[in-house]
Chain A
Amino acid sequence: MSKKIKNVNSTQEFDELIKNNRYVLVDFWAAWCAPCRMVAPVIDEIADKYSEKVRVAKVNVDDQQELSIRYGIQSIPTVIFFKEGKVASKEIGVKPMSSFANMIDSNIA
């Protein structure tokens, strides 16, 4: 995992993260999920490419059930882009780099 990615360990930590960063991209995943393992290197690339503009984080849905319920995660991987603390865009499932780049580019000024 890229060093630029923040691993979220509590709901409080998550709330601070989306409060203190204008743009946050969050990968909801779990260890048992094969499609999540496919997306992981893509998320690493995103974190490197957008390191100056976007904070990238990971939420393990098994450990952080409160957050997965809050954002209605029903299939993983789900990647959500937060703009000023609010959900701006969401991608579900295995997607190529370009899909995540698009969701960022279309939402940042």
Chain B
Amino acid sequence: MSRAVALHLGLIAALFAAQFVLPTYHQGNVARIMVLATYAIGYNVLFGYTGLLSLGHAMFFAAGLYGLALPIQHLGWGAGPALLSGVAAGALLALVVGLLALRTIGVAFMIVTLMFSQAFYLSVLLAGTWTRGDEGFVIPAAKQVLFGIDLATPTTRYFAALALFSLALLATLALVRHPFGKTLIAIRENEERARMLGYDTFRHKLGAVVISGAISAGAGAGFALLFGYAGATFASVQYSIFPLLWVLLGGAGTVIGPLIGTLFIFYLIDYASGLTDAYMAVVGVVLVALTLFAPQGIAGELRRRVWKGLP
């Protein structure tokens, strides 16, 4: 077992152990952070490893959220099939968006994803009869049951969040060690060269968009299932900016970066919102400071200074 695998298994073990020491309030927070970090991991596959900056990932998160919540609410589905339909909705949306948006590069790609996401958000509002728009709706506790386990208690919720997070973490670790992941990194570093070497860069990038969209949708579906709520806020621009912020702070293109970034920002916002209503100002300051002083993020700096082999 290599050091990298040991590090990530150790991280999961530490999170597992944390459940027994953390007070209830922080236990709920960390469960939430792990689900959001899963979203950040999904974002990181595209931004960190493939080098494509999307400003519209909220649509994938929300596709998972509604892909799970709507069938439960209106078709009476159980949590299991609904979870699958959530992930499938995200992957399908990612495939369509990817096919269109990948025809553009750079700034145009950012704007196209932003526009698609905005159209998705407005569609959620337009379908207010089913989605209840901004107000959202609550998934009844009786439906938050998977394989006979009630997910609405703090302990089971924590472990379910940990399971989701571990799955995503180990999947990305496997991905970046796989030839497919290595090709993505080659595309990020120099797409022209990767194409010259004979790689079909379009199909690799499309694959990255779909994987990223599916993981993000999985996080969205998990969020709706564990916390029993679906609302249009999760499709808004803010939720496209958050994963960018988490990944930038934690370290783009590192496997553990998304968790570090999400943890920091979550508690920073939690603290700031106790002081003022204008807590989003903190987000702004951190974004500007990051672009100016630490474009590599925390894990990126660690990789540069401490351990060059950090995946």
Instruction: Say if A and B assemble together.
Output: no
